[in-house]
């Protein structure tokens, strides 16, 4: 049987990979290659910490709370609402190029309630970090850096996701 931490981290792995690979092309010059290198280093750390080390060294985990399924559904619905309303606001302001930063913020915010529902404090660290990265990308992009700031925020969010998941595996699932 596959360890629950490993199974759960697959969603984060896919999300992190999409953040980086979809957005790094919008970065100027050598930054696109640097983003790929940073991603590969973070990926190697994640794979080692989560998949190579013995499963016995991973967080033991506790059963989710009774209402965890509802929290999950409400969080995903809230995230999708943030995406839809955010896209409308950005389109109205003719700033749709900032959508990658909005996505990073929305993904982060949707993770925060998971910490209590799934008894996994690492979600607090991951959620607040991604939300902050996304909000900084939105702000810097809005103030003039545009698509580059939004893409950079998404790329950084992807790399941070991998690092936090790896660190969570090393710390027993406590806050990374």
Q: Measure the CA–CA gap between 50 and 109, rounded to whole angstroms.
A: 24
Task: Please answer whether residues 45 and 161 qualify as being in contact, where contact means their C-beta atoms are separated by less than 8 angstroms.
Answer: no
Q: Measure the CA–CA gap between 142 and 44, rounded to whole angstroms.
A: 34
For residue range 144-158, what is the model confidence (pLDDT) as tens digits? 888 999 999 999 999
Task: Please answer whether residues 45 and 163 qualify as being in contact, where contact means their C-beta atoms are separated by less than 8 angstroms.
Answer: yes
Q: Measure the CA–CA gap between 176 and 128, rounded to whole angstroms.
A: 12
What is the residue whose two structure tokens read 């660190």? 167
Radius of gyration of the chain (CA): 16
For residue range 54-83, what is the model confidence (pLDDT) as tens digits? 888 887 777 888 998 999 999 999 999 999
pLDDT band at 105 (very low <50, low <70, confident <90, very high): very high
The answer to whether residue 132 scores a pLDDT higher than 70 is yes
Write out the two tokens for 155. 């790329």
What is the residue whose two structure tokens read 């790929």? 36
pTM of this structure: 0.92
Name which of 81, 155, 169 is nearest 125 in CA terms.
Answer: 169
Task: Please answer whether residues 50 and 5 qualify as being in contact, where contact means their C-beta atoms are separated by less than 8 angstroms.
Answer: yes
Q: What is the mean pLDDT of residues 19-35?
A: 96
């Amino acid at each position: 049987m596959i360890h629950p931490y490993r199974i759960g981290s697959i969603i984060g792995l896919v999300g992190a990979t999409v953040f980086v690979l979809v957005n790094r092309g919008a970065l100027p010059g050598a930054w696109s290659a640097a983003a790929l290198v940073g991603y590969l280093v973070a990926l190697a750390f994640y794979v080692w910490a989560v998949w190579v080390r013995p499963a016995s060294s991973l967080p033991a985990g506790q059963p989710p709370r009774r209402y965890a399924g509802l929290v999950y559904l409400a969080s995903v619905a809230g995230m999708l609402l943030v995406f839809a309303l955010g896209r409308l606001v950005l389109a109205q302001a003719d700033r749709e190029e900032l959508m990658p930063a909005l996505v990073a913020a929305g993904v982060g915010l949707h993770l925060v309630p998971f910490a209590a529902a799934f008894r996994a404090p690492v979600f607090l660290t991951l959620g607040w970090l991604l939300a902050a990265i996304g909000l900084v990308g939105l702000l810097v992009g809005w103030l003039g850096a545009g698509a580059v700031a939004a893409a950079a925020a998404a790329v950084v969010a992807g790399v941070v996701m991998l690092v936090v998941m790896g660190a969570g595996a090393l710390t027993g699932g406590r806050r990374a």
